[in-house]
């Protein structure tokens, strides 16, 4: 049986080959292996990778299911940077699914988290509402 890191690497290879649905499945498998090993942080990161892969092929419901709960997991682990990334992924998935108000709220949260981490102010005076589009917003690649 492959290790979680081998499963992740296979998922990354599939993602880079633009085989996004296959990559999403491999990331899900790796996440389950990490959860079974008790590595909640790695499992949450892999679920975010799974989310990004689903968004690449406009599978918004699957993306939302994958990323659900990951911002809270990163917050519980004290990992504010990955929490901000997970919130941005959650926002992008809601945006793609057409949940504009929820996406706008989450984008604001991601901006606030990032601002707190970097000391930079990212909000513009005339903040625009998100609009539905196929391009992935937030994290555009997987790690």
83-114 pLDDT per residue, tens: 999 999 999 999 999 999 999 999 999 999 98
Q: Name the one residue in this structure whose structure tokens are 């555009």.
A: 140
User: Total structural domains in the chain?
Assistant: 1
Note the pTM of the prediction, 2 decimals: 0.83
Quote the percentage of the chain above a pLDDT of 90.
78
> Does residue 135 belong to any structural domain of this protein?
no
- In 3D space, the residue among 33, 98, 37, 93 whose CA is nearest the CA of residue 69 turns out to be 93
20 domain-assigned: yes
Residue range 120-124: mean pLDDT, rounded: 56
User: How many angstroms separate the Cα of 82 from the Cα of each of 9, 14, 101, 134?
Assistant: 19, 23, 23, 23
Question: What letter does residue 120 receive in the DSSP assignment?
Answer: -
Q: Please, which pLDDT band fits residue 122 given cuts at 50, 70 and 90? A: low
Q: Distance between CA 83 and CA 140 in Å, rounded? A: 16
Position 59 in a domain: yes
Instruction: Identify whether 13 is part of a domain.
Output: yes
Q: What is the pLDDT of residue 120?
A: 66
CA distance 51 to 41: 15
Assess if residue 77 is contained within a domain: yes
Per the prediction, the chain carries an average pLDDT of 88
Residue 124: CB atoms within 10 A of its CB come to 8
Q: Domain for residue 100, yes or no?
A: yes
In a domain, 19, yes or no: yes
Residue 76 lies in a domain: yes
Owning domain of residue 53:
4-118
DSSP assignment letter at 110: H
* Among the listed residues 1, 28, 21, 23, the one whose alpha carbon sits nearest the alpha carbon of residue 12: 23
Look up the CATH number of the domain holding residue 71.
1.25.40.10
pLDDT band at 121 (very low <50, low <70, confident <90, very high): low
């Amino acid at each position: 049986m492959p290790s979680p890191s081998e499963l992740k690497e296979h998922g990354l290879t599939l993602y880079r080959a633009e085989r996004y649905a296959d990559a999403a499945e491999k990331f899900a498998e790796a996440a389950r292996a990490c959860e079974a090993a008790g590595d909640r942080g790695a499992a949450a990161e892999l679920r975010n990778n799974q989310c990004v892969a689903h968004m690449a092929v406009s599978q918004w419901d699957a993306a939302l299911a994958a990323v659900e709960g990951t911002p809270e997991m990163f917050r519980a682990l004290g990992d504010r940077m990955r929490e901000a990334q997970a919130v941005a992924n959650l926002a992008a998935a809601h945006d793609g699914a057409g949940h504009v108000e929820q996406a706008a709220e989450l984008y604001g949260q991601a901006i606030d988290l990032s601002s707190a981490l970097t000391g930079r102010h990212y909000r513009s005076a005339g903040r625009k509402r998100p609009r539905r589009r196929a391009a992935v917003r937030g994290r555009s690649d997987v790690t």
